[in-house]
């Protein structure tokens, strides 16, 4: 297993300095806009609306979330529903030995050890925004490899239209699973083209080190343009399916959590707004965390919007 | 008399403790990655707890047969308002600071925020009329006005219930306590003659509050 530093986005993604600077000013104007209130109407409002639709800056240029914050503020209900519960209780999770069941419509299936899974892949570092459906967000440097590279190895057949994932479930190691807050095991799924998209990562580390258990060790998914709950943790099963797989949050509240769950400021959660997000990042006081506008597809629209052309994203939320 | 005075001073200190604890945790950066969310939950929890405590005083008097509990009712209600105001201020200033349009939209469009805001709003007339002078001036209508607290209790629990994503165990506990507090009032309210004596007793015992 080699490790290649891939902190910076691909060359095509890198914005030329002057363009970036100009864009940054626009973004600043956009960020300051709500504070200005009515004053903004007088002060050149012409460039304000474009700030939200402008191509977002790459996550690598944004202030990162502190490791201590990203590893202590987690939603991992298998260890409790409080944000601090996973960091407190996940130490009981046995992550070695670890194996992943590959099943469904593929030429090669069966049980694979984590070592088998990881061996041929080169790990790279990528900085992504993570937007939680609850209205907060982080900027996290992940370490992993494209999920598609793994899936290809099993040679999915033409019947493989979706990929389904399961999290480990163990009442001893994961005390939260003793209570049916969700329908265990935690399940997630992607359409095949979403799973094969180069932005979709299988992750084994973050901040240049191994994944902490509360962040989904030893193997998790990261789909940066979807709400965080789609990025399933501690994966033990990957199945190629013909039909759209069941997903835990959709089973729990179908009217609130759709299968796609793409980040979309235009489609509110039935109970709260998704227009803006509290950004947990940077090193200044957490008490005055920035609230920033939420971007379509979490700022990855240029890369992924084409996956959904012709789809009504209000219906398929 | 002295004993009640001392008990009240102690109660005020106890009621201020969560606020002091809050300040200490903020000063020492102990609220973790997302203090805004944590402070919102903390102040909301205590607002609801004091509201339920204030609602517990009348049943407590009935069960104990003693008048003293009623003398704590007003201060508990005012502390509930204090924490509810901190709760609202956290949301408006720290969380949505500056996004005025979104605040208005939230209050109008999001049922859980609508009921929460309504609960706070309905507390205002109760706070304003909580003085002995207002009580005397309003006479009979004071009691009628302050029945609003039942509605406020329901709205506050609903506010909590509707905001959780999946785990309703905690709001369920508050809902159960509220239900018990309502049930404990039930038999007395059915008997009009006794409720009248109850009311006179409330009024005669209130001025010391």
For chain A, give every domain's residue range. 15-54, 62-308
- Check residue A271 and give its pLDDT: 86
Asked if A271 contacts A211 with a C-beta cutoff of 8 angstroms, the reply is no
pLDDT at B152: 97
Q: Looking at residue A285, what is its pLDDT?
A: 86
Q: Report whether A189 contacts A163 (CB < 8 A).
A: yes
Q: Which domain holds residue B95?
A: 2-208
Compute the distance between CA of residue A218 and CA of residue A43 in angstroms, rounded to an integer: 51
- Distance, in angstroms, between A102 CA and closest chain B CA? 30
In the three-class reduction of DSSP (H, G, I as helix; E, B as strand; rest coil), residue A167 is classed as strand
CA B49 to chain centre: 7
Please check whether residue A73 touches B, CB under 8 A. Answer: yes
**pLDDT at residue B188, rounded to an integer:** 56
Point out the residues of chain A with pLDDT beneath 50.
1-3, 5-54
The domain total for chain B is: 1
Chain B partners of A273 at a C-beta cutoff of 8 Å?
Answer: 102, 105-106, 109-110
Neighbours of A94 (CB within 10 A): 11
- Of B28, B98, B165, which to mutate for an interface test with A (greatest number of A Cβ within 10 Å)? B165
Alpha helix locations (H) across A135-288? 147-153, 192-196, 248-252
Distance in Å, alpha carbon of A106 to nearest chain B alpha carbon? 35
pLDDT at B206: 43
Mean pLDDT of the residues in chain B: 88
Q: Does A81 touch chain B (CB under 8 A)?
A: yes
Q: For the segment B171-207, what is each residue's pLDDT rounded down to a tens digit?
A: 999 999 999 999 998 765 554 544 444 444 444 444 3
- Where are the strands (E) in A228-273, listed by range? 235-241
Dihedral sign computed on CA atoms, order A255, A257, A262, A267:
positive
Crossing angle between the packed helical segments B73-89 and B111-128, to the nearest 10 degrees: 140
- CA dist list (Å): A97 to A109, A116, A277: 19, 12, 38
Query: Exposure of A281 by Cβ count < 10 A (0-12 exposed, 13-18 middle, 19+ buried)?
Result: buried
The nearest alpha carbon in chain B to A270 belongs to B110
C-alpha A207/C-alpha A132 separation (Å) is 19
ipTM exceeding 0.85?
no
pLDDT at B145 over 60: yes
pLDDT class of B165 with cuts at 50, 70, 90: confident
Q: Looking at beta carbons, which residues of chain B come within 8 Å of A181? A: 166-167
The model's pLDDT over B27-57, given as tens digits with 9 standing for 90+, comes to 998 888 999 999 999 999 999 999 999 999 9
pLDDT band at B3 (very low <50, low <70, confident <90, very high): confident
Strands A201-206, A209-210: pairing kind:
antiparallel
Q: What are phi and psi of B16, to 5 degrees?
A: -80, -20
**Across the interface, do B102 and A276 touch by the CB < 8 Å criterion?**
yes
CATH for A62-308 is 3.90.420.10
């Amino acid at each position: 297993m080699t490790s290649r530093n891939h902190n910076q986005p691909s060359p095509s993604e890198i914005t030329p300095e002057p363009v970036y600077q100009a864009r940054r000013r626009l973004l600043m104007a956009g960020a300051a806009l709500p504070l200005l209130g009515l004053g903004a109407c007088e002060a050149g409002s012409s460039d304000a609306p474009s700030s939200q639709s402008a191509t977002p800056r790459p996550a690598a240029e944004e202030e990162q979330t502190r490791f201590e914050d990203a590893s202590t503020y987690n939603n991992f209900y298998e260890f409790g529903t409080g944000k601090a519960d996973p960091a407190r209780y996940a130490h009981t999770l046995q992550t070695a030995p670890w194996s992943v069941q590959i099943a469904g419509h593929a030429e090669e299936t069966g049980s694979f050890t984590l070592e088998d899974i990881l061996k041929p892949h080169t790990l790279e570092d990528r900085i992504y925004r993570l937007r939680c459906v609850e209205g907060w967000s982080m900027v996290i440097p992940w370490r992993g490899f494209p999920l598609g590279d793994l899936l290809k190895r099993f040679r999915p057949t033409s019947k493989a239209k979706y990929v389904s994932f399961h999290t480990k479930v163990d009442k001893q190691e994961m005390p939260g699973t003793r209570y049916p807050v969700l329908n265990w095991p935690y399940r997630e799924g992607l359409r095949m083209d979403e799973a094969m998209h180069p932005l979709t990562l299988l992750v084994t580390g973050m901040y240049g080190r191994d994944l902490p258990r509360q962040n989904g060790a030893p193997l998790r998914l990261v789909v940066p343009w979807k709400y965080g709950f789609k990025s399933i943790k501690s994966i033990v099963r990957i199945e190629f399916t013909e039909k759209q797989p069941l997903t835990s949050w959709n089973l729990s509240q179908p009217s609130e959590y759709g299968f796609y769950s793409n980040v979309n400021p235009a489609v509110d959660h039935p109970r709260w707004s998704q227009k803006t997000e509290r950004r947990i990042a940077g090193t200044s006081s957490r008490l005055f965390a920035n609230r920033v506008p939420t971007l379509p597809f979490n700022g990855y629209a240029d890369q992924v919007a084409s996956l959904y052309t012709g789809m009504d994203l209000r219906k398929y939320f | 008399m002295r004993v009640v005075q001392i008990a009240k001073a102690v109660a005020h200190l106890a009621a201020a403790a969560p606020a002091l604890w809050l300040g200490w945790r903020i000063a020492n950066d102990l609220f973790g990655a997302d203090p805004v969310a944590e402070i919102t939950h903390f102040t909301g929890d205590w607002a609801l707890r004091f509201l339920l405590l204030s609602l517990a005083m009348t049943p407590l008097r009935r069960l104990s047969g003693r008048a003293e509990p009623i003398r704590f009712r007003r201060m508990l209600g005012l502390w509930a308002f204090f924490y509810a105001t901190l709760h609202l201020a956290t949301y408006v200033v720290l969380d949505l600071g500056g996004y005025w349009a979104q605040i208005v939209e939230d209050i109008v469009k999001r049922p859980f925020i609508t009921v929460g805001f309504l609960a706070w709003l309905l507390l205002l007339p109760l706070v304003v009329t909580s003085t002995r002078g207002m009580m005397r001036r309003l006479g009979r209508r004071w009691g009628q006005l302050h029945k609003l607290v039942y509605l406020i209790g329901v709205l506050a629990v609903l506010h909590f219930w509707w905001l959780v994503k999946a785990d309703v165990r905690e709001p369920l506990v508050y809902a159960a306590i509220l239900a018990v507090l309502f049930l404990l009032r039930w038999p007395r309210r059915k008997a009009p003659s006794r409720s009248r004596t109850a009311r006179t007793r409330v009024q005669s015992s209130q001025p010391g509050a």
